[in-house]
């Protein structure tokens, strides 16, 4: 069951006695937990029927005692264990998880890592409650996730705007959602969010970013490459050479894979590279500019400057100077 289906059930007042929310992606865990807190109790019921623990300070006996308590002038109690990954012995809750109180909704928020699926408690939870593993959204899925989220809140977004957000914020869904919520305040419902909206309201340049740098390199547009490099050098906090190298390594790797794919149909390329068909077509055009021999040479250049950026064999050049020198070699 995905997080949207879980939240839909929660809003329909269909609760489980225990929710074990765990995994690397905190956004989904927070979204489900917030939905439970908002819907499990009425405002006037919360003073006597809602308790929130934090893992670092939580004692298993105290948590269990609260969860076993009965509601006061309410249909249910709500007990939330936030930051459960910091609890000294989360598995000490095993006996309660095996026989939970049906009049309590107990929520375990175990972020950034998964519970141990081999432990008896986790197996008990699967039968007595709901276990949701919160997985990170893969980079190749991020643009689609952004587009779907935007449509879900009543807007639309261009593929370039989604790519800008993904490239600048990474797969930090919390930050992405936060920025999109800001946009939803200033834009009318139904607006198609463009790269101009992103630049004006979020502060991400639509012309000077890793997305445009890669496009310029793909087209061998040296003038644009060094215009972007100059901008990056003046804004080093937002554009580290390590991030640029990582981005270009992924770009060159995809071009090399295209050269050796048996089926070069755009749909087959998109499936193999796990990218949008539009992106696949752009990569195929770029592959025509870069034969395998040049790609191999460029990957070696990236490796060289990755080491230099980390201080290996470099004691005098600034990050900006290294970036310009690297880009010069890549373009010549």
Give the DSSP letter string of 195-256.
HHHHHHHH---SSSSHHHHHHHHHTT-HHHHHHHHHHHHH-GGG--HHHHHHHHHHHHHHHH
Q: What is the pLDDT of residue 136?
A: 94
pLDDT band of residue 124 (cuts 50, 70, 90) is very high
Please answer whether residues 59 and 33 qualify as being in contact, where contact means their C-beta atoms are separated by less than 8 angstroms: no
Q: Return the ∠ at Cα 313 (arms to 310 and 318), rounded to 5°.
A: 60
Beta bridge partners of 19: 107, 130
The yes-or-no verdict on residue 118 having pLDDT over 80 is yes
Q: Mark whether 326 and 219 lie in a shared domain.
A: yes
Q: Mark whether 125 and 219 lie in a shared domain.
A: no
Q: Mark whether 159 and 218 lie in a shared domain.
A: no
Question: Could you say which of 172, 202, 232 is where a domain stops?
Answer: 202
Q: What is the pLDDT of residue 257?
A: 95
Q: Mark whether 325 and 234 lie in a shared domain.
A: yes
Q: Mark whether 193 and 105 lie in a shared domain.
A: no
Average pLDDT over residues 118-132: 94
Q: Mark whether 73 and 46 lie in a shared domain.
A: yes
Q: Mark whether 9 and 77 lie in a shared domain.
A: yes
Q: Mark whether 70 and 127 lie in a shared domain.
A: yes
CA-to-CA separations, 11 to 3, 101, 107, in angstroms, rounded:
12, 21, 16
- Between 1 and 13, the more confident residue is 13
pLDDT band of residue 200 (cuts 50, 70, 90) is confident
The yes-or-no verdict on residue 205 having pLDDT over 90 is no
Q: Mark whether 130 and 109 lie in a shared domain.
A: yes
Question: Could you say which of 202, 237, 252 is where a domain stops?
Answer: 202
CATH of the domain at 317: 1.20.272.10
Express each pLDDT in 289-330 by its tens digit.
999 999 999 999 999 999 999 988 876 888 889 999 999 999
Q: What is the pLDDT of residue 224?
A: 93
Helix (H) or strand (E) holding 291: none
Q: Indicate the number of domains in the chain.
A: 3
CATH of the domain at 173: 1.10.8.60
DSSP sequence for 100-131: --TTEEEEEEEESB---TTSHHHHHHHHHSEE
* Least confident residue range of 21-35, 117-131, 228-242: 228-242
Burial of 13 (0-12, 13-18, 19+ CB in 10 A): exposed
Range of the domain at 21: 3-134
Share of residues in the chain with pLDDT > 70 (%): 100
Q: What is the pTM of this model?
A: 0.75
Q: Mark whether 63 and 49 lie in a shared domain.
A: yes
Average pLDDT over residues 108-114: 96
Cα 109 versus chain centre, distance:
18
Q: Mark whether 111 and 162 lie in a shared domain.
A: no
Share of residues in the chain with pLDDT > 90 (%): 75
The yes-or-no verdict on residue 103 having pLDDT over 90 is yes
CATH of the domain at 45: 3.40.50.300
Q: Mark whether 161 and 64 lie in a shared domain.
A: no
Q: How far apart are CA 174 and CA 323, in angstroms?
A: 30
pLDDT band of residue 8 (cuts 50, 70, 90) is very high
Beta bridge partners of 137: none
pLDDT band of residue 204 (cuts 50, 70, 90) is confident
Q: What is the pLDDT of residue 278?
A: 80
Q: What is the pLDDT of residue 101?
A: 96
Beta bridge partners of 50: 78
Express each pLDDT in 51-71 by its tens digit.
999 999 999 999 999 999 999
Q: What is the pLDDT of residue 311?
A: 87
Question: Could you say which of 134, 152, 168 is where a domain stops?
Answer: 134
Q: What is the pLDDT of residue 168?
A: 82
Express each pLDDT in 158-185 by its tens digit.
988 998 888 888 888 999 999 999 899 9
Express each pLDDT in 210-231 by its tens digit.
888 999 999 999 999 999 999 8
Average pLDDT over residues 102-113: 96
């Amino acid at each position: 069951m995905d997080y949207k289906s879980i939240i839909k059930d929660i809003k329909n007042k269909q609760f489980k006695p225990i929710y074990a929310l765990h995994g690397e992606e905190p956004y989904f865990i927070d979204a489900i937990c917030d939905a439970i807190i908002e819907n499990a109790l009425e405002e006037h019921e919360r003073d006597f029927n809602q308790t929130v623990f934090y893992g670092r300070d939580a004692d298993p006996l105290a948590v269990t005692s609260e969860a076993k308590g009965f509601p006061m002038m309410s249909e249910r109690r709500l007990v939330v264990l936030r930051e459960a990954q910091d609890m000294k012995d989360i598995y000490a809750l095993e006996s309660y998880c095996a026989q939970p109180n049906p009049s309590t909704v107990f929520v375990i928020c175990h972020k950034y890592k998964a519970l141990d699926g081999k432990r008896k408690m986790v197996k008990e939870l699967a039968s007595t409650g709901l276990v949701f593993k919160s997985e990170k959204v893969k980079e190749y899925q991020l643009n689609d996730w952004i587009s779907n989220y935007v449509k879900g809140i009543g807007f639309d977004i261009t593929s370039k705007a989604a790519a800008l957000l993904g490239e600048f914020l990474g797969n930090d869904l919390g930050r992405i959602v936060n920025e999109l919520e800001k946009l939803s305040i200033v834009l009318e419902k139904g607006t198609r969010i463009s790269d101009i909206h992103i630049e004006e309201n979020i502060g991400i340049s639509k012309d000077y970013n890793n997305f445009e740098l890669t496009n310029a390199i793909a087209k061998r547009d040296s003038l644009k490459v060094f215009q972007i490099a100059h901008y990056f050098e003046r804004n080093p906090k937002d554009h580290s050479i390590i991030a640029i190298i990582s981005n270009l390594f992924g770009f060159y790797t995809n071009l090399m894979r295209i050269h050796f794919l048996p089926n070069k149909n755009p749909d087959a390329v998109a499936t193999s590279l796990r990218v949008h068909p539009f992106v696949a077509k752009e990569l195929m055009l770029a592959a025509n500019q870069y034969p395998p021999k040049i790609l191999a040479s460029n990957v070696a250049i990236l490796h060289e400057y990755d080491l230099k950026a980390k201080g290996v064999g470099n004691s005098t050049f600034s990050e900006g100077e290294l970036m310009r020198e690297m880009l010069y070699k890549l373009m010549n």
